[in-house]
Homo-oligomer: A and B are copies of this chain.
Amino acid sequence: MKKTGQPTINDVARLSQVSKKTVSRVINRSPLVIEETRQRVEEVIAELGYIPNPQARALALRRNFLIALIHDNPNGQMVLGVQQGLLEMLRGTEFELLLHPVDRGMPDMQEDIRNFLERQRPYGVMLLPPISENDALAALCASIGCRYVRMGSATLDVPEHMVASNDRDVVRGAIEYLIAAGHRRICMIAGPAGFRSAHERQLGYEDALTAAGIAIDRAWIAQGDYRFEGGKRAAERLLDLAPRPTAIFASNDEMAIGTMHIADQRGLEVPADLSIIGFDDTPIASHVWPSLTTVRWPIAAMARAAALKLIGDEEEAAKEAAFFSSTLIRRSSVAPPAT
């Protein structure tokens, strides 16, 4: 117990009259320690308030006790939710959360991530969409020897490395909900090309229409960008259609809110003249007027499961759920179409 004030493994060894190695075994729960010895060592540990030095462990193990969250921030709420879920499970463990956002626009993104991983050598990596869809990134994590979990809107990997939501199914359900309310002219604002989530949600939309015997009209699908302004532009195109749609499904809430603005501008009442459904259940959804019917996906639960996959032993990791159901939150932005 020298200058730093922090007791080390040597102090514990000396006071409990065993070797460092035995203390190390106790710390790492090795079964090769007799109960009596373990007790004595643990008493000394408790008495001293000894905590293993993470830096020293990292050096010796060539691996840090850190979980890295790597993402190309598509959505602040998602990032926050994931952080929260991850941290919830990490709390009380020896793990800490490292943030590493990247820019998928940069050509050296892959190199940046490789560099980061080789330097920090995190214990585990959480990959968020859309970059979680990049197989090369997953391979990179594996090759460096760190555990990883990918989050996505569809199954992209084996359960051990995946937490997926059922975007396609839940969107299908949302559209069927509109159909059941009497809607037939249901348009969709799609997400940006290249996003798996956008693709899955569109598939769900098409599933529902097909099942209901409604022909899919390409003009009914306007591409958005998951942002407010893009949603507004898409909504304008859709509301210019004749006959006008009676309902619009927007692939996320931000675009749905944009749609509400355009409806308001045109003197259209929501939901009387136009029903709207969003996706994400962001805080805005419940605060706009009328409140937005939308899809809530269990981000925090997915993140918690991911954390367990990352830090639990392999059996636990494999057992942890890999598939999560979103639910339709029915609020005030949907009504039967005006006749």
Contacts and interface: CB of A to CB of B under 8 A. Distances in A.
Contact of A4 (B55, B62, B79, B101): B62
Number of copies: 2
Interface stretch (A9-17, A114-122, A207-215, A235-243): A114-122
A169 interface: no
A287 B228 contact: yes
A257 interface: yes
A119 B58 contact: no
Given A56-B59, A59-B56, A59-B59, A289 B287 contact: no
Contacts of A58: 55, 58-59
B119 A54 contact: yes
A197 B126 CA distance: 35
Interface in A100-127: 100-101, 115-116, 118-121
Interface of A: 4, 6, 51, 53-56, 58-59, 62, 64, 66, 76-77, 79-80, 83, 87, 96-101, 115-116, 118-121, 228, 254, 257, 260-261, 264, 283-284, 287-289
5 contacts: A51-B118, A55-B62, A55-B121, A87-B101, A97-B99
